[in-house]
Structure 1
Amino acid sequence: MTTEIPQSSPDCEIVTSRTVNASKEQAFRAWSDPEHLKIWWGPEGFTNTFHEFDFQPGGKWEFTMHGPEKGHYQNSCEFIQITEPELIYWKRYSQPLFRVLVTFEAVSELKTSIIFKQIFDTAEACEKIKKHVIDKNEEVFDRLEEELAKM
C-alpha cells in the first residue's frame, strides 16, 4: 500500500540531514528496530520507554521520552508508509503536531544520506518550535551515529 506523501512548502518544514557511515540497510534498521531506536532516539541525555512499536502502515508507536533533568513526554504516533530500506513516514498525534518523513539514500556501499523532515500544517506551527529543535535534531543524529558504530 502506497500513500501519497503530501507536498509542503519550505516554511512548513524543518529538515535535518546527515551522511552516516553505514549501509542503507543498516541505517534503516537503526530506525526500524525498537531495540536500536530506543537507545538513540531523542536529544542528548534523553531516554525512552517504548509502550508499543508496531512497525507497519497503520501501526502505532507509543513511547515516553524521559528528559535528563525532569519531564516525561508522552508521544503517540502512527506509521503511514514504510518502504524498506528507503522511507519511513509517520504522523504524530501528540503535541506539537507534525508528520515525519525519513528517507535513506546510498551514497556508497557503507555511506548513507539520511534526510529527516518534520512537516507542519502551517508556517506558524513550524516557526513556533523551529528554534528549539534544530540543535536538538543534530544531537539526535549524533546519538544515531554512536549507535550505528556499535551495530
Structure 2
Amino acid sequence: MEPLKNRSDSRSKLLSASPSEVFAAMSDPARVARWWGPAGFTNSIHQFDFCPGGKWLLTMHGPDGKDYPNESRFTRIEADNVFEIEHLSGHHFILTIELQPKASGTEVKWRQTFDTIEHYQRIAEFVASANEQNLERLAAEVQREKNAA
C-alpha cells in the first residue's frame, strides 16, 4: 500500500478551547450540522449513531443548490481525543481528527486519507481548501458555544 502521507491531506489548527469543548462540537449532531463541510454548505443529519461501527447519514446542501447525500461509519471514537470516520459514499476515505491538549488550548489534527495517491491527487486542491474551511467552521462553532455560556 502507498504511504499515508502521499495520499492524505493533513492540517492542524490551534483552538483556544479545551479538548472536551472541541469534542462536544464533534459529538452533538445539531452542532455538527452547523460546522460540517466547506463554507457555504448546510447540512441535514438523518442518522448519527455516535459509537464505533455506528452509521452517519447526512445530506450536504451546497451553495450551488445541489444536494450531496453522504454515508459514513464511525470507526474510532475516544472522548476528548479522537473522532474517526470511514466515508462510504462517493469518494472513499478515512478522516481522523485528533485533539491534543496544549497550554493555550487544543491542537486539532485533521487527516483525510484516500485509498490511492492517484485518487487523492485528482481532488487534492479542492480537498485542501475544503478541509481548511471545515477547520475554520469548527473553530467558529466552538467559539460560538463558549460565547453563549
TM-score by length of 1: 0.91
* Aligned counterpart, 1:51: 46
* Aligned counterpart, 2:129: 135
Contact 1:55 1:79 in 2 (8 A): yes
* Aligned counterpart, 1:37: 32
Secondary structure of the residue that 2:43 maps to in structure 1? strand
C-alpha deviation, 1:142, in angstroms = 1.4
Matched, 1:84 2:79: yes
Structure 2 unaligned blocks of 5 or more: none
Q: Percent identity?
A: 34
Q: Which amino acid counterpart does residue 123 of structure 1 have in structure 2?
A: I
Q: Which amino acid counterpart does residue 60 of structure 2 have in structure 1?
A: M
* Aligned counterpart, 1:104: 99
Matched, 1:147 2:141: yes
CA distance in 2, matches of 1:95, 1:16: 22
Cα deviation 1:49-80 (Å, max 9, x = unaligned): 00000000110000000001221111000011
Give the aligned length: 145
Contact 1:63 1:75 in 2 (8 A): yes
CA distance in 1, matches of 2:136, 2:85: 22
* Aligned counterpart, 2:21: 26
CA RMSD of aligned residues (A): 1.5
C-alpha deviation, 1:7, in angstroms = 9.4
Q: How has the CA–CA distance of structure 1 residues 117 and 69 changed in structure 2, closer, same or farther, with 3 Å as cutoff?
A: same
Match of 2:107 among 94, 113, 123: 113
Contact 2:2 2:116 in 1 (8 A): no
CA distance in 1, matches of 2:7, 2:137: 26
Structure 1 unaligned blocks of 5 or more: 1-5
Q: How has the CA–CA distance of structure 1 residues 90 and 7 changed in structure 2, closer, same or farther, with 3 Å as cutoff?
A: farther
Contact 1:66 1:73 in 2 (8 A): yes
**Stretches of 4+ moved more than 4 A in 1?**
none
C-alpha deviation, 1:9, in angstroms = 2.4
Cα deviation 1:94-134 (Å, max 9, x = unaligned): 111101111000012x5100111111111011111111121
C-alpha deviation, 1:135, in angstroms = 1.4
CA distance in 2, matches of 1:104, 1:8: 23
Secondary structure of the residue that 1:31 maps to in structure 2? helix
